Structure 1
Amino acid sequence: MPGVKIVVPVKLMPDAVQAPAIGSTLHTVNDRANWVSEVAFATGVMREYALRKHTYAELKAAGLGAQAAQHTIKKVCDAYATLRGNLRAGNLGEPGSKRRKKAESKPVVFRPQAAHPFDERCLSWQYDAQTVSIWTISGRLKNVRFACSAGALKTLRECRKGESDLIERDGVFYLIAVCEIPEAEQYEPDQFIGVDLGIANIATTSTGYLAAGHGLNRYRKRQLRLRKKLQTKRTKSAKRRLKVRRRKEARHAANVNHIIAKQIVTEAERTSSGIALEDLGGIRQRVRLRKPQRVALHSWAFHQLRTFLEYKARRAGVPLVYVDPAYTSQECAHCHHIDKKNRVDQARFVCRSCGVVAHADRNASHNIAARGEAVWTAGRESRVPDTP
């Protein structure tokens, strides 16, 4: 059974001699990746084996090892494959749009600190000593210390598999290791927990759990005010403070999403239930909002919470299904009457047919749970015995 892939970041702690070598290596491979990208764009050759004929010798001459050169070429090919996928999916606008033309008119560019993959030949781990041995353009560096939590070290020791990415963030080096955790066997659910996702309430379940969003929304508004205030000053100290605060909001939101996902999956596992989610793919393109509301919608990580729920459910063996989100907020969970007027306001639901009064998000979560059971029943194998 395939495992669940997660990433474990560890912080490298090189000494005064090791740090410049690692930094120079990362900058060099990304600079060479930009050159390979220019060659691929100019020649139209974007397949790995064919592109290798045009660039491998020059990469070796620039001081890159055989594996580093191969990974540099592969990284460029993967970047162009991602670009083509985004173009086909319409993520960069319609054909002829300004954004799409801009993406198609120039080569893919890599930042000097961008991630670069290292495989087993370029990187080895010594877990007991908490050190790594890593290839650099200055030679092999041994005994480079790394720091991580005890739980992360245990996961690395038992489950690390495949490549690890080296990145530089604010002058600090990190290794992002891929770990494959065994996936629990999925059980047959007794019922389904419907999860309604929103902005005012981040997640509301049919079992009564409600993750209110006012705290996170208030935090985001405060961060927005602080950013505007610092940006208007334009002083060196203000720019320094902006740099320190970068990614702080994203880390806070990710932590909140982890907590919510863990709570929902734990409840489902405890009650032998499945999880039903709305399929919210493309919501940013479908929904039309006033300008003040767009910040709230585009700041909230719908996809991130869904991803957290997916992998935590797989690790626990909890069944998870997606349902059609159409009219879940307008349908009465008791009599199934659908009417736009049923949704009185953001928080209150009053059915125009049977008169039931309910919390709007709670009502929607019950509709999602019922649809989840229907999807599961339709998708599983028939229990009817074979005809003798």
Structure 2
Amino acid sequence: MKIVVHVKLTPEAKQAAALSATLRSVNEAANRVSAVAFEHGVPREYELRKHTYADLRSQGLGAQAAQHVIKKVRDAYTTLKANIKAGHLGKPGSKRSRKAEAKPIAFRPEAAQPYDDRCLSWQYDAQTVSVWTIAGRFKNVRFACSADALKTLREYRQGESDLIARDGEFYLIATCNVPEAEQYEPGGFIGVDLGIANIATTSAGYKAAGRGLNRHRKRQLDLRKKLQRKGTKSAKRLLKKRNRREQRHAANTNHIIAKTIVAEVERTSAGISLEELKGIRQRVRLRKPQRVALHSWAFAQLGDFIVYKARRAGVPVVFIDGAYTSQQCSECGHVDKKSRASRTLFICRNCGVVAHADRNASRNIARKGEAAWTAGRESRVPATP
């Protein structure tokens, strides 16, 4: 299983200037390669290399850096094509998709640049890296990370690392290939209902209320509006300083929730049943005031955190179709839209059972997950002689 580890570089002034100049140079080169690729109808990587490699080398880029620039550009076009095909830029032929296809892909001056082991080497004991720049190779560039992250890097780092610049700071994002724990046979399934008012509710009784996170987001939104209206230099400086603070807070909250859920499921030797939430923003129709809450909540992120933590612990995970799970009674199976009496209350119109709406939905998700797991298992019936 591949995960990424973020480490913060703490370079000296001369090293920081070289890293900054390197990112600007490779991304300027990437924009030139992108223009050539667009002009030639985005050829395959080998063909694109024939058109651009010599030019990149003549501009002073090293051999490995030039190869990575070309690959980065080709990968960007592959991603764009996949996004258009999946409908992430609107329907095929829409104004947004036509606009994306009408011009070459542009790279920001501080966009990430991949480094392989020839361009970047790690010294874990000293917590330094040796990194290639356009000003030569710099050794003993210090980095900082947690003890757990350092252990993961030491044991499992494999493949490329990306150098990025963010708000004047430099970071390395390293790929680690962590072995998965052996998956056990679950004794049952715990359903997880994801929502906005309650971020996660499980059929085992755990509930992560979203009140605090929603209040935090509203405060951030109000503050952004206030600073944007003010428009002074100090307001813009504060806006930049607070950039991504909400994202970090939400990610930390999702990590805590995912860890709690996986730990409880592992303790009971059960499996996890999750709703398939892909495309939920396109399917759900909400009033305008509700859209901010829907589009600011990291639907996929929490699900991804649960999945990767479960895989590291060997916990089985199944995805199910979440249709009607909030309208179906978990006791008798009766489906009726009117049974959802309110946002929090479920009253079955058939058997009269009263339950918390999210708890009822999580039980339905758990039952569907167990059925999906049973249907997907290999038959244990002995072969006919």
2:274 alignment partner, SS class: strand
Whether the 8 Å CA contact 2:42–2:77 is kept in 1: the answer is no
Q: Note the alpha carbon deviations across 1:299-333, whole angstroms, 9 max, x for none.
A: 00010001101100100000000011110000000
8 Å contact from structure 1 (residues 166, 173) kept in 2: yes
- Whether the aligned pair in 1 keeps the contact of 2:85 and 2:92 (CA below 8 Å) is no
Moved over 2 A (4+): none
The number of aligned residues is 385
Q: 1:90 aligns with which of 87, 112, 123?
A: 87
Alpha-carbon distance in structure 2 between the residues aligned to 1:193 and 1:287: 25
Name the CA distance, whole Å, in 2 between partners of 1:130 and 1:313: 30
Comparing 48-57 with 18-27, which one deviates more in the overlay? 18-27
SS of match in other structure, 1:17: helix
What residue in structure 2 maps to residue 328 of structure 1?
A: 325
Pairing of 1:286-305 with structure 2 (within 5 A): 286-305=283-302
Q: Quick check: 1:123–1:134 contact (8 Å CA) kept in 2?
A: yes
CA separation in 2, counterparts of 1:16 and 1:233? 34
The percentage of counterpart residues that share the same residue type is 74
- CA–CA distance in 2 between the matches of 1:354 and 1:78? 56
Distance in 2 (CA, whole Å) between partners of 1:304 and 1:146 is: 27
Amino acid in the other structure paired with 2:319: Y
Counterpart in the other structure of 2:73: 76
Mapped partners of 1:330, 1:94: distance in 2? 31
Question: In terms of mean alpha carbon deviation, does 197-206 or 89-98 score higher?
Answer: 89-98
From 255, 262, 265, the equivalent of 2:262 is 265
* Aligned counterpart in structure 2 of residue 146 of structure 1, from 143, 147, 160: 143
After superposition, residues 78-157 of structure 1 pair within 5 angstroms as: 78-157=75-154
Pairwise CA distance, 1:95: 2.6
Whether contact under 8 Å (1:46, 1:80) holds in the other structure is no
Give me the TM-score of the superposition, normalised by structure 2: 0.99
Q: Quick one: distance in 1 between partners of 2:319 and 2:57?
A: 48
Is the 1:93–1:99 contact (alpha carbons within 8 Å) kept by the matching residues of 2? yes
Check whether the contact 1:8–1:178 (CA below 8 A) recurs between aligned residues: yes
AA in 2 matched with 1:89: A
SS in 1 for 2:324: coil
The whole-number CA distance in structure 1 between the counterparts of 2:73 and 2:216 is 38
TM-superposed CA distance for 1:145, in Å, is 0.8
Match of 1:358 in 2: 355
Shift of 1:265: 0.5
Alpha-carbon RMSD across the aligned residues, in angstroms, is 0.7
2:281 counterpart (281, 284, 293): 284
What is the identity, as a one-letter code, of the residue corresponding to 1:103? A
Structure 2 gaps, min length 5: none
Deviation at 1:96, TM superposition (A): 2.9
Query: Residue type matched to 2:128 in 1?
Result: T
* Distance (Å, rounded) in 2 between the aligned partners of 1:114 and 1:16: 20
**Structure 1: unaligned runs, 5 residues or longer:** none
Structure 1 length-normalised TM: 0.98
For residue 327 of structure 1, what is the amino acid of its counterpart? Y
Counterpart residue identity of residue 25, structure 2: T
Residue in 1 that maps onto 2:15: 18
Partner in structure 1 of residue 303 of structure 2: 306
